[in-house]
Structure 1
């Protein structure tokens, strides 16, 4: 969604987080969806760069499904 709505308006490539912020600021998405995206971003960062945390099997499976959906939408 970020690519479809924002890249066509600008030649500059943007990162996903910046794009999501722009979508919220232009009222394309609401605050609830923006908050969910921020939580997902934090969760993925923790999973990618763990410290003293444990990721449950259920949470890992959820993230695999989210990634698979995102990859399908790209194709």
Structure 2
């Protein structure tokens, strides 16, 4: 997932993470989407996922893991 301040590889206990809550916060360009993508890839075999993705950053995960993609544009009321 990254490195510790000492330069060692940082690890996350995925089981512990999935059993609790998670907040990912950071400035633009700080790697939030990259972190979320890696978490989604690693947890896909064990948990159901619902991804609300207005920017289309994670659409390739649908191809890889067989997710259903619903395009909000198709369901937007127009006046």
Indicate the TM-score class for this superposition, using the shorter chain for normalisation. Answer: under 0.3
In our comparison, the structure showing a higher alpha carbon Rg is 2
Alignment TM-score, normalising by the size of structure 2: 0.26
Alignment TM-score, normalising by the size of structure 1: 0.26
Which structure shows the bigger proportion of residues in helix conformation?
1
